[in-house]
Each structure stands twice: as C-alpha cells, then as structure tokens.
Amino acid sequence: MSEKNLLKGKVAVVTGSGQGVGRALAIGLAEHGAKVITNNRKPGSTGNAMLTGKEYERLSAEKKEWYDRVQAELNGDAETTASEIRRRGGEATACFADISKMEDAERLIRTAVNTYGRIDILCNVAGAFGVCEIDKISDELWDKVNNIKPKGYFHTMRYAVPYMKAQKSGRIINCTSRAFMGDIIKHAE
C-alpha cells in the first residue's frame, strides 16, 4: 500500500484542528487517505493565542515577521482546515463543538459515525493557554485550562471508545505541549 493510501478507509477526529499542530495533523492524516472530522469550539480563529500584546511587542522586527508569517499559515478554524483538506483532494467535515461539554463531545464523535460510518482514530490536540505563577492562578484560569486537557479529552474518549470496541480496533492519541515550560518564542529570545 502506498504511503498516500496508508489510512485509506479510516476515519479520524482531530480536536483543536482549526489551527496549529491540530491543523497540521488533520491535513497530514487526510494526505495519507483518512477521512477527517475537523474541530474547534466555534467559527473563527483564536488568533494570537501564544503571546500577549506586551510579549509580542518585545519581539525583534525579524521575530515579529516570522511570527506573523507562521500565524497566518496556521490560523483558522475547523471549516478552514476542512476546506484546505478538500482543496487538496481529501475528505473532511467540520464540526464546531466545545469538548469541555460532554454533549458537544458526544456530538463530535457522532458526526464522524453519522457522516463516514465509523471512527478509527481520535487525536485530541485541543488546548487552552493560561500561564501564571502557581500561587497566582485563579479558579477561572485553572478551569479554562483543565476543562480541555484532561476533562475534554476524557469526554471525547468516553464516546469514541464504545465504537472502537465494537469495531475491535481504534487508536487514541492525546497530545500535550511544551507550554508548561514556557512558550518557545520566549526561549528563543
């Protein structure tokens, strides 16, 4: 089987695939033949989620140019990513759903099954940023971050696993990031 058809006949759900790593992963799965359900909470990009305005202003002109170019390539939403997959000849359907809500996670997984007949791969990439010192973190910030990872990941797995058990196959990939170490741009300064 050619690499292009490695995932032919497989159906993948990728949370947080409107932009960044999730977007790249969704496009990559489609390029290998998978039908993909793309996902993020709502229409529209979250934009400059990695840096505050103050942090952005501290970047050199060269780093701002690089950052702006990368953001333009990676920003979007579930429909933007699904459209790009279709433009490249793949199959994709967007589903706007907030996985921190159990009923939305169920709707996301059912979208895969109702649209393509199954779910073979679940990639949880969605995340929320909230950086501050531990002794200053508020309940609101804690909930913002943890309602996605790990709670939202649990929600999607909760609904995907029964289908995978019935099929006697499936893969779940839960992603994290280096964000707990501080963002990469800060380390590059």
pLDDT per residue as tens digits for the range 50-94: 667 788 888 899 988 888 887 766 678 999 999 999 999 999 999
pLDDT in tens, 148-168: 889 999 999 999 999 999 999
Closest Cα to residue 153, out of 180, 170, 128, 184? Answer: 128
pLDDT exceeds cutoff 90 at 182:
no
Q: Report how far residue 82's alpha carbon sits from residue 56's, in angstroms, rounded to the nearest whole number.
A: 29
Q: Residue holding tokens 């050199």? A: 60
